[in-house]
Amino acid sequence: MKNFLFTLLALGTFSLLASAPAKAFTASETFKLYTNPNHQVSGCDVYTQLALDSADQLIQISERVGGLCALAIQPDTRVYAITGTSDVGGVRVTSASRAGTTGTDFVTIWDYRTAPPVGAAAPLIVVEDHNQKYWTLYSLP
């Protein structure tokens, strides 16, 4: 009986260790995102900022203005908790959600930094925002 109980405990411990989620991000980083994957920054730099927090495994998205038009604007900051990660052909896919004003808001982040090159001007990060307005944002290489 003791051997049987020990075996069950060992198997249970192994399954808990095997299913521990991997960190979505191993380094905290910030990216500028644009609606066009081939965006050219002019005098006014209007962009969405993506901040990846590796310590708390959170995603923060906010609207920003820089360059010659740097004004005091409301950044409309949104913080998302990571709900899952996977690798798709070398691309790290991270899903995140938050409580929104009309329900749950979702985003998906496609991280191409470790993927095999697909083109000369491929974006590093692509963010799909699945909320009231669906939109895709791209970081510049």
pLDDT score at 20: 41
Domain ranges of the chain: 21-139
pLDDT score at 7: 27
58-97: b or e for each residue (b if 16 or more CB lie within 10 Å)?
A: bbbbbeeeeeeeeeeeeeeebebebeebeeeeebbbbbbb
pLDDT score at 76: 79
Each residue's pLDDT expressed in tens, for the chain with a length of 141 residues: 333 222 222 333 223 233 345 677 778 889 999 888 888 887 788 889 999 888 888 899 988 888 777 766 667 788 999 999 998 888 889 999 999 888 899 999 988 887 877 666 667 888 888 876 667 777 876
Give the DSSP H or E segment for 110.
strand 103-111
What does pTM read for this prediction?
A: 0.65
pLDDT score at 122: 67
pLDDT score at 97: 93
